[in-house]
Structure 1
Amino acid sequence: MAVQNNGSSKSFVKIPEIKFTKLFINGEFVDSIAGRTFETIDPRTGEIIARIAEGDKEDVDLAVKAARQAFDHGPWPRLPGCERRRIMMKFADLIEENIEELATLDAIDGGKLFGFGMAVDIPSSVETLRYYAGAADKIHGETLKMSRELQAYTLREPIGVVGHITPWNFPSNMFFMKVSPALAAGCTMVVKPAEQTPLSALYYAYLSKLAGIPDGVINVVTGYGPTAGAAICSHMDIDKVSFTGSTEVGRLVMQAAAMSNLKPVSLELGGKSPFMVFDDADVDTATDLALLSTMHNKGELCVAGSRVFVQEGIYDEFVKKLAEKAKTRVVGDPFDPAVRQGPQVDKTQFERVLSYIEHGKREGATLLTGGKPCGERGYYIEPTIFTDVKDDMTIAKEEIFGPVMSLLKFKTIEEVITRANATKYGLAAGIVTNDLNIANTVSRSIRAGVIWINCYFAIDRDCPFGGYKMSGFGKDLGMDALDKYLHVKSVATPIYNSPWL
């Protein structure tokens, strides 16, 4: 396993001073009411980056009060769509101007590859913001053809104050997947970023104010899920919650929303996605895609195609080439341009992944590659591949959220469809084949929200993204995402001389 510079003192970029560590409420950075803070940790080294204000229920109350005032009496929901678009475009421009610092924050806070952040994560976040900025002045209702002597039309109005709870694996992307359509719709909001990765969210809050987004429209409360997150979900003055995270926490979010003001909830939850390789596939392409599906972002992917089903005719060749490629992947400091895989986000996740690897060994799977921590400090794990995996093994059933792949052999199309669907999740699936009939048959048969054929992780701002079954409901991205933040109001009036007068 190639290991390079992980946990070393060598730096490939200058780490910026951490500028924003307080809560952002009503356009100002403020301490938490209780004065508590928590540590955000650099997963490259396990060292403290900064102490961040720890928001609690009282701080959420203040943030919601600011968001409610901004929605009920402020300009944002009342601005012409073209004016919201102009401000959102300026916001996007400011992010581009600060791209290196933002990519650095996500690298030191979440262990994400700096080069990928510069080339993909931050630019795609910017384009998501611009995409919804372009939609802000195109939100229209419909004129209805009624069956009686009535004239009617619909209005699409902002839903109100939104609570966004975002995960730690893609802190910038997830911030804008949620905030952008809500802004375009005219909503105000309280954002709780994951406690593991709060730094970029606070920086985005600062840039939003510079762009001219009015005070109270975007509020950021950093803190923990059981306190700040729970307060958002149960708050009587929040009109909608959008959550991305684990299925277990998603249940709690729904319960809290139902027990409060019955607010609508959208959930993008866990996954255990099947990646299916058929005999006619090009093995080089298939192995590259399999590694992408499981090892990208050090396996911290809700869509990870970590159940890799390979048809028996090419199975042996696939395993050989996959092992060769996995052993060449460089694990190390995410600022090193040669590195393909950085550290897991924190010690808890690091230990969780290692425990799953031990489960695989104990339950009889064969360790093909990896399986160990690497480096002297930090939370680095070797890319790990198991063969001889059975469908009922823990590593084949549960979401690991780390660089661990399970290889499973199959014979027929019917068999792999049945086995692929035998999961409580339904977020994504991958298919590698040159046969159009196979691609069509399998893609229509797999119960998942997104299917990728001869590609993987093909997420795009134009394409709705969300799951089936216990992977949640509601769509992020695409124009479908706007629907989550809009009410439809019907208005009817009688036509002159109608019997309704």
Structure 2
Amino acid sequence: MLPLLRPRDGSTGDTPIPAVSAAEVSEHARDAERVYASGVWSGLEPRDRAAVLLRLADLMQRDADVLARLECEDAGKPIRECVENDVPGAIESIRWFAEAVDKLTGQTTPAGPGVIALTEREPFGVVAAILPWNYPLAMAAWKIAPALAVGNSLILKPADTTPRSVLHVERLALEAGIPAGVLRVLPGTGAETGAALARDPRIGALSFTGSTRTGRVILAAAAETNLKRVSLEMGGKSPQVIFADALGYGEDLISQAIECAFVTAGQNCTAGSRILVEASVAEEFTRRFVAAARALRVGDPEDPNTDIGPVINGDAARRMLAVIEEARAGGARVLLGGEEVQVIPGGHYVTPTVLDQVPADARILSEELFGPIVTVQTFTTEAEAIALANHTPYGLAASVWSSNIDRALGVARSIRAGVVSINSYSEGDLTSPFGGWGESGFGGVEKSLRAFEQWTREKAIWVQLHR
């Protein structure tokens, strides 16, 4: 049984949620295959599926307050983030992909006279997604909308600590008119429920968002079974590269650098946890950045004035503090934070932390900590900035700040990452693709029309004319 964990106060829910066993996963996959083959959803016209998904978005809007509260309680996310960002973003995703699906087209390819060669994309049938705990609803929407819009039956496994918002969306899907069995949510552990999805031969494609370590396990399981398509969106150790002339952007630079580092208490795969600043302005930038970080309010997630909520659990907090102490022992200077404080009994709160003078071989520079912890390093040349930015096995995101757009664009093109923002912290809107390089993942793109490629396979059709 899965307790309804509430990291904000350490309590559990009144009604535990049964964890789905490996045997039950197989039964659900078999039923999803039957539902797909029946055509009750897959046989609809794209516009008809879109209309149902738009009703789902309307129902999510109706229940936005409920969804925000569930996200806040389960994940410990500040309620303001849930209300202003996560829930509206999830609703927008459902609407965007619903409205885009009937815009997809195949193509004809150049062939000789007497031949028609064309391509089309078709759904896999049964597909699955394994979700992270830090953005349960937003990540669910990124999977639900394109996967269902093209006609698949989708199985979702939420993280064991954050299942309730996704379970609520499953109920809303039925209310919207999505046939039973087309979208099913299977709560459970990664070791059993998630592993069973990775190994099930009926599942044609699987999307995973989470740690690199777990992604490797999923990839191996798929390779050992039916070679299902696997899309991985995993960790990051993203740089924020700040040139001296960027200080002219004033408070916009500081506020966005703060958001990049500390949104969701740093429990964000694109968090800019490595700040690389030109040496000539490092002292000024660091002073202003530390002052802004010190002003962040660590508090109860249900308080709309809270900026920083708890980290996900005590083990995560202890791991973060151990790495900070290791860096300090190696000669790093802790400019701010570096400690756990008690805000609500049972919650685990790591204060916003900033370090500089970090030894080049320190783990804190290379290991994804998934917490409110930032390091500051300096550079003197553009080449040095690029080398520092690329000194990581990850390649998910980066930010580059400079009023010289030629330089900013040149550096952005030289950074090995799937998403690079210039003079902002941004992952782009729904029209812009999102995906990582290296140990941050591969195999699929979230958002944009490219996202449909995760959930469909291409077929070439060769027609020989006899006349």
TM-score range (shorter-chain normalised) is over 0.9
Contact 1:274 1:307 in 2 (8 A): yes
Which whole-Å CA distance do the structure 2 matches of 1:211 and 1:103 have between them? 20
Give the CA deviation at 1:177.
0.7
Report percent identity of matched pairs: 37
Which whole-Å CA distance do the structure 2 matches of 1:49 and 1:381 have between them? 24
Give the CA deviation at 1:380.
1.1
Deviations 1:450-471 (A, max 9, x none): 0011111344211100011111
Which whole-Å CA distance do the structure 2 matches of 1:396 and 1:77 have between them? 47
User: Helix, strand or coil: the match of 2:410?
Assistant: helix
User: Helix, strand or coil: the match of 1:243?
Assistant: strand
2:369 is equivalent to residue 400 of structure 1: yes
Q: Which has the higher helix share?
A: 2
Q: Which runs of 5+ in 2 are unaligned?
A: none
| Alignment counterpart, residue 475 of structure 1, candidates 423, 445, 448 | 445
Which whole-Å CA distance do the structure 2 matches of 1:486 and 1:387 have between them? 46
Give the counterpart letter for 1:295 in structure 2. Answer: F
With normalisation by structure 2, the TM-score equals 0.96
Give the counterpart letter for 2:280 in structure 1. Answer: G
2:69 equivalent in structure 1: 104
Which whole-Å CA distance do the structure 1 matches of 2:254 and 2:98 have between them? 38
Contact 1:330 1:340 in 2 (8 A): yes
Deviations 1:60-81 (A, max 9, x none): 1121112111111231111001
User: Helix, strand or coil: the match of 2:341?
Assistant: coil
| Alignment counterpart, residue 443 of structure 1, candidates 403, 412, 421 | 412
2:394 is equivalent to residue 425 of structure 1: yes
Distance 1:258 1:427, change over 3 A: same
Contact 1:343 1:380 in 2 (8 A): yes
1:167 equivalent in structure 2: 132
Contact 2:72 2:78 in 1 (8 A): yes
With normalisation by structure 1, the TM-score equals 0.90
2:27 is equivalent to residue 40 of structure 1: no
Contact 2:356 2:375 in 1 (8 A): yes
| Alignment counterpart, residue 331 of structure 1, candidates 298, 305, 328 | 298
Give the CA deviation at 1:115.
1.9
1:223 equivalent in structure 2: 188
Matches within 5 A, 1:330-349: 330-349=297-316
Which whole-Å CA distance do the structure 2 matches of 1:178 and 1:408 have between them? 37
Bigger mean CA offset, 343-352 vs 290-299:
343-352
1:369 equivalent in structure 2: 336
1:22 equivalent in structure 2: none
Give the CA deviation at 1:148.
5.3
Give the CA deviation at 1:351.
2.4
Give the CA deviation at 1:371.
0.9
Which whole-Å CA distance do the structure 1 matches of 2:335 and 2:436 have between them? 31
Give the CA deviation at 1:390.
3.0
1:198 equivalent in structure 2: 163
2:172 is equivalent to residue 207 of structure 1: yes
1:274 equivalent in structure 2: 239
Contact 1:156 1:486 in 2 (8 A): yes
1:264 equivalent in structure 2: 229
Give the counterpart letter for 1:406 in structure 2. Answer: T
User: Helix, strand or coil: the match of 1:60?
Assistant: helix
Deviations 1:18-39 (A, max 9, x none): xxxxxxxxxxxxxxxxxxx121
Which whole-Å CA distance do the structure 2 matches of 1:136 and 1:70 have between them? 21
Give the counterpart letter for 1:296 in structure 2. Answer: V
Which whole-Å CA distance do the structure 1 matches of 2:215 and 2:113 have between them? 44
2:432 is equivalent to residue 463 of structure 1: yes
Contact 2:330 2:359 in 1 (8 A): no
1:434 equivalent in structure 2: 403
Contact 1:390 1:408 in 2 (8 A): no
Give the counterpart letter for 1:209 in structure 2. Answer: L
2:449 is equivalent to residue 484 of structure 1: no
2:353 is equivalent to residue 384 of structure 1: yes
Deviations 1:295-329 (A, max 9, x none): 01100010111110010110010111112111111
Give the counterpart letter for 1:137 in structure 2. Answer: D
| Alignment counterpart, residue 280 of structure 2, candidates 289, 313, 316 | 313
Bigger mean CA offset, 262-271 vs 129-138:
129-138
Deviations 1:58-113 (A, max 9, x none): 11112111211111123111100110011000000000000001100000100111
Contact 2:327 2:359 in 1 (8 A): no
User: Helix, strand or coil: the match of 2:244?
Assistant: coil
Contact 1:41 1:346 in 2 (8 A): no
User: Helix, strand or coil: the match of 2:215?
Assistant: helix
Give the counterpart letter for 2:166 in structure 1. Answer: A
Which whole-Å CA distance do the structure 2 matches of 1:59 and 1:355 have between them? 39
User: Helix, strand or coil: the match of 2:340?
Assistant: coil
Which whole-Å CA distance do the structure 1 matches of 2:415 and 2:327 have between them? 26
2:119 equivalent in structure 1: 154
Which whole-Å CA distance do the structure 1 matches of 2:87 and 2:428 have between them? 14
Which whole-Å CA distance do the structure 2 matches of 1:207 and 1:361 have between them? 49
2:259 equivalent in structure 1: 292
Give the CA deviation at 1:335.
1.6
Deviations 1:191-237 (A, max 9, x none): 10011111111111000000000111111110110100000000011
Which whole-Å CA distance do the structure 2 matches of 1:348 and 1:77 have between them? 43
Which whole-Å CA distance do the structure 1 matches of 2:318 and 2:437 have between them? 29
2:225 is equivalent to residue 245 of structure 1: no
Which whole-Å CA distance do the structure 2 matches of 1:397 and 1:285 have between them? 28
2:95 equivalent in structure 1: 130
2:461 is equivalent to residue 496 of structure 1: no
Give the counterpart letter for 1:299 in structure 2. Answer: G
Which whole-Å CA distance do the structure 1 matches of 2:63 and 2:102 have between them? 27
Give the CA deviation at 1:49.
2.1
Which whole-Å CA distance do the structure 2 matches of 1:154 and 1:431 have between them? 39
